[in-house]
């Protein structure tokens, strides 16, 4: 799981959360894979607001010979002034949650592509919350066509009452995705996961086997 803190919290609370996240990751690195900041970005504190606390936690992690990867909700906004995506990139975030504001910054898009930072796209959540009125105009279409690492995510399935498959279906219907693109998006979920390299390879091997079985079934069904 990813240890999450609320952006609305004061710096002192974030420092405490980061310390707890480090302790839990040190005790069970396979259970706690990283740290995130959540909450409505346009109303609450930015990534930069907590920069001292984040950098201090990173230094403490190095002293303890552990890591605390960042998986930051950033750019869940339609504001050009939203700088959270930039700071997430500079902080070497493994993945960026939502990343809608990235659309307005071509240079940052290229940096995300070059560094292999995955964008966690949440179609249904983005539409329900009003960030994208028409899913056909979702910036993820540009990200995918530009070769950025994109993964489809359900955001808060317990709240929206929909699962991972619903977001894939919404993306498929709205973005004109073909079977090849759906295959890559599904593989991205494994490639940009927090699994270690050996786990990823085993998971991808199993997935490719199941995909081949699916394609064989599809060919037989069509005949």
Q: How many residues does the chain have?
A: 223
Report the run of H or E that residue 150 belongs to, with start and end: strand 150-152
The conformational region for residue 36 under phi > 0 = left, psi -120 to 50 = alpha, else beta, is: beta
For the chain, give percent helix, strand, coil, nearest 5: 55, 10, 30
Q: Is the pLDDT of residue 207 over 90?
A: yes
According to the model, what pLDDT value does residue 171 have? Answer: 95
Report the run of H or E that residue 2 belongs to, with start and end: strand 2-6
The answer to whether residues 87 and 64 touch, using CB atoms and an 8 Å cutoff, is no
List residues with catalytic annotation.
76, 98
Give mean pLDDT, residues 168-174. 94
Q: Give tens-digit pLDDT for 139-168.
A: 999 999 999 999 999 887 777 777 888 999
Instruction: Answer yes or no: pTM beyond 0.85.
Output: yes
According to the model, what pLDDT value does residue 223 have? Answer: 67
Mean pLDDT of the chain: 94
């Amino acid at each position: 799981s990813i240890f999450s803190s609320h952006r609305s919290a004061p710096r002192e609370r974030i420092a405490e959360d980061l310390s707890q996240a480090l302790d839990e990751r040190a005790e069970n690195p396979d259970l706690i894979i990283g740290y995130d900041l959540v909450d409505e970005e346009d109303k609450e504190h930015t990534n930069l607001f907590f920069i001292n606390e984040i950098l201090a936690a990173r230094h403490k992690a190095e002293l303890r010979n552990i890591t605390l990867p960042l998986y930051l909700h950033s750019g869940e906004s339609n504001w050009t002034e939203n700088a959270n995506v930039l700071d997430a990139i500079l902080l070497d975030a493994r993945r960026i949650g939502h990343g809608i504001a990235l659309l307005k910054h071509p240079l940052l898009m290229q940096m995300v592509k070059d560094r292999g930072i995955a964008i966690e796209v949440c179609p249904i959540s983005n539409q329900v919350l009003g960030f994208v009125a028409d899913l056909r105009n979702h910036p993820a279409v540009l990200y995918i066509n530009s070769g950025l690492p994109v993964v489809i995510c359900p955001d808060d399935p317990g709240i929206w009452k929909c699962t991972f498959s619903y977001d894939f279906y919404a993306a498929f219907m709205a973005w004109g995705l073909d079977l090849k693109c759906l295959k890559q998006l599904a593989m991205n979920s494994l490639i940009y996961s927090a699994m270690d390299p050996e786990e990823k390879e085993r998971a991808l091997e199993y997935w490719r086997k199941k995909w081949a079985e699916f394609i064989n079934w599809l060919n037989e069904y069509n005949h």
